[in-house]
Amino acid sequence: METTDKVIKALKDSGKPMRAGEIADASGIDKKEVEKAIKQLVKVDKVHSPIRCFYDIKK
């Protein structure tokens, strides 16, 4: 499973916006890798930031 897939799964499982550190803890991935994956997901419009520093799946 790719890092981006793990980030999306962590966000789906939580059901609420999360910080990068929380996503890292939930998915078991290094925070730096999570931040890179979030940037990629924002570019392709799969994830957005409803509140500063929090991320959620785009619905």
Mind listing the pLDDT tens digit of every residue in the chain (59 residues)?
899 999 999 999 999 999 999 999 999 999 999 999 999 999 999 999 999 999 999 97
Q: How many CB atoms lie within 10 A of CB 1?
A: 8
Q: How many CB atoms lie within 10 A of CB 37?
A: 22
Estimate to the nearest angstrom the gap between the alpha carbon of 28 and the chain centroid. 12
Q: How many CB atoms lie within 10 A of CB 18?
A: 21
Q: Please state, in angstroms and rounded to a whole number, the distance separating the CA atoms of residues 28 and 51.
A: 23
Q: What's the pTM?
A: 0.90
The 10s digit of each residue's pLDDT in 35-50 is: 999 999 999 999 999 9
Residue 59: per-residue pLDDT? 78
